Amino acid sequence: MTSCEEVPLVEFLKAELDARETEELLRHVENCVDCRERLQVMAAVAASYPARDTGERRPLMGGRRFWLLAAGIVVALIAPILYMQMSTSGIGSLATSEKYPGRFPLVTRGGVEVSAFEQVRRDAYEAYRRGDYQRSGALLKLLTRDADTLFYLGVSQYFSGEPEQALDNLHKASELDRNWYQPATWYRASAYLKIGKKEKAQAALRELLKADGEYRKKAEELLDELE
């Protein structure tokens, strides 16, 4: 198991792995923060749906190693989530508070685990629409990192108080799909303002002056306030 994309987390939760595959997955998850977080969120999503009574009970797995991991998952899920306090003074107050229109992509691409991941995508959209950006961000991390997912992940991180994490995902989204370039650059500029990097914010806003569209006027107005 060399790549996080190959880790069978869904199959693990469905109890479809044999002993060797389970041992491999546990060893990987113990040492991979990203996969451990994905597994925690997937377990939470699965737990939020009522179980179907099929008349058959199959234990997920046994053994001390699994229960230690399960205990860690439960602790992580019930631990309080602390939100970063966003600055309301200085240049941080100039960052945008507008919510991006909900033109969230609802089509699962690639045809892999369509039902499971389509449900996660829909849950992510619903959380985003409600303004629950902490949850939408957590769910979006479970999906394939295409341009659409990266953009909305970045915006979710921005609004949930994680501007530094948002910067990287917004940049990747605009590189993968130029249709996201202007809105992603606008939110990047705002993320820089949130963390007090005025010069970087100005540089991002000047990039928007080179293109036509709604963000050019916004960039001009914000640059005037910053200068």
Per residue in 62-119, pLDDT (tens digit) is 444 444 454 454 344 333 333 333 333 467 777 888 777 666 654 444 444 444 667 7
Query: Residue ranges of the alpha helices (H) in 59-197?
Result: 64-78, 114-130, 133-140, 147-159, 163-176, 181-194
Task: Note whether 37 and 124 are same-domain residues.
Answer: no
Residue 38 is part of which domain span? 4-50+59-78
Task: Note whether 123 and 25 are same-domain residues.
Answer: no
217: enclosing H helix or E strand: helix 214-226
Query: Radius of gyration of the chain from Cα atoms?
Result: 20
Q: Give the pLDDT confidence score for residue 105 in this predicted structure.
A: 57
84 falls within a domain: no
| Counted domains in the chain | 2
Say how many C-beta atoms besides its own lie within 10 A of residue 129's C-beta. Answer: 12
Task: Note whether 128 and 71 are same-domain residues.
Answer: no
Task: Note whether 207 and 173 are same-domain residues.
Answer: yes
Rounded CA-CA distance 128/152 in Å is 8
Say how many C-beta atoms besides its own lie within 10 A of residue 133's C-beta. Answer: 23
Task: Note whether 137 and 28 are same-domain residues.
Answer: no
Task: Note whether 25 and 96 are same-domain residues.
Answer: no
Task: Note whether 74 and 28 are same-domain residues.
Answer: yes
Task: Note whether 136 and 38 are same-domain residues.
Answer: no
Q: Give the pLDDT confidence score for residue 118 in this predicted structure.
A: 74
133 falls within a domain: yes
Residue 143 contacts residue 41 (beta carbons within 8 Å): no
Q: How far is CA 95 from each of CA 204, 206, 212, 225, rounded to the nearest angstrom?
A: 13, 15, 21, 11
221 falls within a domain: yes
Task: Note whether 132 and 219 are same-domain residues.
Answer: yes
Rounded CA-CA distance 173/183 in Å is 10
Rounded CA-CA distance 169/180 in Å is 11
Task: Note whether 191 and 137 are same-domain residues.
Answer: yes
Output the pTM of the full model: 0.60
Cβ neighbours of residue 75 closer than 8 Å, sequence gap 6 or more:
none
85 falls within a domain: no
195 falls within a domain: yes
83 falls within a domain: no
Write out the chain's pLDDT in tens, 227 residues: 557 777 888 877 777 778 788 878 878 887 887 887 777 777 666 555 544 444 444 444 444 444 445 445 434 433 333 333 333 346 777 788 877 766 665 444 444 444 466 778 888 888 888 888 998 998 888 888 899 999 999 999 999 999 999 999 999 999 999 989 999 999 999 999 999 999 999 999 999 999 888 889 989 999 998 87
Q: Give the pLDDT confidence score for residue 207 in this predicted structure.
A: 94
3-state percent helix, strand, coil for the chain, nearest multiple of 5 = 65, 0, 35
Task: Note whether 63 and 114 are same-domain residues.
Answer: no
Task: Note whether 70 and 151 are same-domain residues.
Answer: no
The CATH code of the domain that includes 154 is: 1.25.40.10
- List the one residue out of 188, 14, 187, 196 whose CA is nearest residue 92: 196
